[in-house]
C-alpha cells in the first residue's frame, strides 16, 4: 500500500525533485524525470516504469491507488493543498498531480541495430532541436505513425525535460530514446546497417511525393533556424523536401515531421 505523507509546506526536503523542475541536468544525473497530469502518469505506469514518488491534491489519491499496485509498497505519495501545487508549478494546475519516475534504460545503438525487425524499420533523429515542445510533439507523431526508435543528438534539448515528456503525452516512454554523443557517427552506423538516413531540408532534395520512404529509414530533423549541422547532413544518404506553394518558405519542424512521418507510414501500408 503506498504511503500517504501530508505536506504542509513547499520547504519540505522531500519535495526537492519537484522544486527543481527547471534544472533538468540534475534530474538526468539522478536518472529521473517529472511527469505531470493524470493521463501522462497513467501512461508512465502502463509502460512499467518505476515511480520514485507522487505529489498530488487529496482528490487524486483514490483514483490512483489501484494503478499503483505494481509499485513499491513504500512508494511515498505526498499530499498537499492545491494552492501549494499552483505555487510550485507557477500557473493554475488543474490536473493536480505530478510524479517522479525513473528514466527507462535505453539499449545501445549497436544492440538496437542488431535486433531483428518484423518489417521495415522507421527511426527518427534530432540535431540541434532546442525547443522541448517541438521535440515532444515530434516524438508523439513518430510513435503514432509507427516509429520504432528515437536518436537525440548531442546538441538537442533533453527528451526528459518536463515539457518534452508532457508534449509527447507519454510517447517518450513508448519507444527507445537513445542519446547520441556523436550524431553524425550514429547516422553512419545506421546507414552501414541498411537504414536510409533521410535529411529533412526546407529548400532542396527529393520532393516528398517522389521520395522512397518505405524501407528501413531514419528521418533526420534539424533546428528551424539553421537546419542540420554540416557533419550531420554529410552523414545522411538522401535529402527530402516538402513541396510548398511559395507563399510560405518553411514549416514548423513539428508540422514538417508529422507530414514526413505520415508519408513514410503511408508507404508501409499494405496495398489492396
Interval 213-226: pLDDT, tens = 999 999 999 987 78
Main-chain dihedrals φ then ψ at residue 123, nearest 5 degrees: -120, 165
State percent of the chain over pLDDT 90.
62
Q: Give the separation between CA 31 and CA 36, rounded to whole angstroms.
A: 17
The pLDDT, as a whole number, for residue 176 is 96
Domain end, chosen from 59, 82, 102, is at 102
Residues recorded for the chain: 272
Together in a domain, 58 and 124: no
Q: How confident is the model at residue 47 (pLDDT cuts 50, 70, 90)?
A: very high
> Alpha helices, DSSP H only, in the chain?
24-30, 38-46, 61-64, 82-89, 109-114, 132-144, 162-168, 183-192, 230-235, 253-268
- Do 38 and 124 lie in a common domain? no
Is 74 found in the same domain as 22?
A: yes
* Residue 39 shares a structural domain with residue 152: no
CATH code at 38?
3.30.1330.30
Do residues 134 and 262 share a domain?
A: yes
Residue 233 reports pLDDT greater than 90? yes
231 and 180 share one domain: yes
Within this chain, do residues 14 and 33 fall inside the same structural domain, yes or no? yes
Based on the structure, what is the number of domains in the chain?
A: 2
- Domain identity same for 45 and 121: no
* Residue-wise pLDDT tens digits, 140-153: 999 999 999 999 99
- Domain holding 187, by residue range, is 109-268
Q: What is the pTM of this model?
A: 0.90
- Which of 102, 123, 152 is the C-terminal boundary of a domain? 102
Q: The dihedral of CA 154, 155, 161, 164: what is its sign?
A: negative
Read off the pLDDT band of 84 (50, 70, 90).
confident
Mean pLDDT score, 48-52: 93
User: Which segment, 3-12, 62-71, 82-91, 116-125, is predicted with the most confidence on average?
Assistant: 116-125
Amino acid at each position: 500500500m503506498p504511503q500517504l505523507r501530508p505536506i504542509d509546506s513547499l520547504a519540505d526536503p522531500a519535495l526537492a525533485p519537484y522544486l527543481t523542475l527547471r534544472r533538468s541536468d540534475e534530474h538526468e544525473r539522478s536518472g529521473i524525470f517529472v511527469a505531470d497530469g493524470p493521463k501522462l502518469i497513467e501512461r508512465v505506469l502502463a509502460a512499467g516504469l518505476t515511480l520514485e514518488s507522487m505529489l498530488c491534491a487529496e482528490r487524486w489519491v483514490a483514483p490512483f491507488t489501484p494503478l499503483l499496485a505494481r509499485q513499491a509498497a513504500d512508494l511515498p505519495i505526498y499530499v498537499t493543498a492545491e494552492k501549494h501545487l499552483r505555487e510550485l508549478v507557477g500557473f493554475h494546475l488543474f490536473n493536480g498531480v505530478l510524479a517522479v519516475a525513473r528514466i527507462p534504460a535505453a539499449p545501445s545503438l549497436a544492440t538496437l541495430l542488431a535486433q531483428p525487425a518484423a518489417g521495415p524499420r522507421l527511426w527518427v533523429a534530432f540535431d540541434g532541436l532546442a525547443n522541448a515542445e517541438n521535440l515532444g510533439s515530434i516524438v508523439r507523431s513518430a510513435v503514432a505513425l509507427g516509429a520504432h526508435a528515437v536518436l537525440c543528438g548531442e546538441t538537442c534539448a533533453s527528451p526528459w525535460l518536463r515539457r518534452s515528456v508532457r508534449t509527447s503525452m507519454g510517447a517518450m516512454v513508448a519507444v527507445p530514446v537513445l542519446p547520441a554523443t556523436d550524431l553524425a557517427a550514429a547516422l553512419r552506423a545506421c546507414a552501414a546497417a541498411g537504414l536510409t538516413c533521410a535529411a529533412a531540408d526546407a529548400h532542396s532534395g527529393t520532393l516528398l511525393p517522389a521520395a522512397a520512404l518505405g524501407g528501413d529509414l531514419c528521418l533526420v530533423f534539424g533546428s528551424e533556424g539553421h537546419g542540420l549541422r554540416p557533419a550531420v547532413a554529410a552523414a545522411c544518404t538522401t535529402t527530402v523536401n516538402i513541396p510548398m506553394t511559395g507563399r510560405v518558405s518553411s514549416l514548423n519542424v513539428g508540422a514538417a515531421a508529422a507530414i514526413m512521418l505520415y508519408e513514410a507510414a503511408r508507404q508501409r501500408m499494405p496495398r489492396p
